[in-house]
Structure 1
């Protein structure tokens, strides 16, 4: 089953995007893709993984879609489309640009949809995230997210939203939502799903090729490359390693160079927006020793532009490094993020450094309550054990 999981992560977005492009129907395409992967889960452990998994999945998904369409004569035009597409060789070059995933992401990010729906639907279709994963990314109940996804797909169908990259004069109104989508996919991948981080970087590169003169596109790509350059050092045996404990010699120097090159290009284009600022912050994180004073200043500027309490939380961490934990704690205690696990883990660390151990334990426990099983939860449990020892 490990092989199937790997294929799902690599191929879900491509298979689904191709089916949607042919059928013009999100629900039918997703059902067919899910059935194909379910059949693979049953057959591959017994028969072995085929030489070309994507072609096998596409062929099986088309067969499933054909069976569904034949049961409903009203969908006869779709059957004709599917039959025509079946006579055309499906491109298997994952590096081809543009491919159906880029068309899919712009379809999902149509301005007729609410911004939350645009992001959620693209995470589901292009990124392959489950409804539960998307709900956690948005900090909403799973049922709420499921309803949001259903409404978004119905809206696309009812409005006849085209499956294509929009013409140049319409790109600007779509790009902000597209960047938000890519950013959230990368954030989900940064927690340990390397496949999603790689998908987001691919999408960022594709957007940079399509919209190379947009500094925010370059900034987002730079930020992702710079953060991802430390991927190999963020975990050790599956356990989380903090930035201060990482070995800079193991960071990917070539990727850092590519990220800084993209950042330089963004700045040369006059960029000073949120993604460019975050890329500059990521560039500082990718050097040792870290310039915490400059980081605090950049977070301050980013906070003024975004009014985000999460950005202010990050500024508090930088301030704690330059002015001491008490200064950082004053900022943290003024933020209204009681359901945000990183506020409590940050607060716990600052309290620990101040010697206020009982309060630190309470804060670590609260952070643990808000954290799902995995490396982050195990890290919090280790911290609690150290305080109790």
Structure 2
């Protein structure tokens, strides 16, 4: 019997793990097309993206980057990883079902499962960081630790809102959304891009990038804590101040990223998607600050927050996820340089059309336009996602063969 090499085992793991976020993205397409007949479809779509696609990708790839940065040996088996993803996705399914069927305690049980999966990730990261030899890029793992802590703080607020509906709900909603979006998602992205962005561009890390990341992390965490406290107490000026500090921290990491992009301009779907996502992040943060400072109450701020969610989710989160997968999948599936180039070419096909179409359509969607224009532009964004899913499915199929 032929024994698979470690590279082959890793490729098999990443091929199977990639199916999970891609399945959630396919579910997002279905929800978008069938939304007139679905209850609470916006909530469902948002959680398919964030709790389903993004969180699965973060659990898998943050462990991958941690092992690479800390120079850890490849695991002898993937049983713990499989168990973690199984628990997490059982929780996600329960949360989604609870939101659609109005069974709050099912959602609470699902939130407990998600909490347990993320807690296991936090413990794993802390142990690896403590035992590893000093590394220049270990700050990335500290971003992951802060991000996981933020999600563990935001999950109970989301579970509480499933069973309690009182005057505190708008504040809890704002707290839950900001801690999860800025803490779990954005901190993970900011920490990863230190090494990942120059790799995507195929250039060297800009001077001062590591120092900027080390300075930005405590500023971002402090800003997030101040923002969360201001939202729970509904002190909008304090909340906006925390958001401003978080934005400054994100800007600190963006400066060396900008320098790397000037030295080697983006030339692939992955690079252009990630670059566009960065622009939408800062646009969403500025729009968010404006809402906090102009709202007359927490209820009004929670109602207006939906205008921030569109650029944040469609512009930043979705694009950084698709761009990252477009670069990582060809590399992780193995097979040598020729196979990697072939898979990358598949994912890069019509890259300019997809990136320009989705970003222009999103920009027009956010303007004060009529309903038919909104429908058309949303369908164009959805078409770009479908194009990516088709290319990704083809890549996974070639890897399987």
TM-score, with normalisation over the residues of structure 2?
0.33
Higher Rg of the two aligned structures: 1
Which structure has the highest helix share of the two? Answer: 2
TM-score under structure 1 length normalisation: 0.34
The structure with higher relative contact order (CA 8 Å, sep 6+) is 2
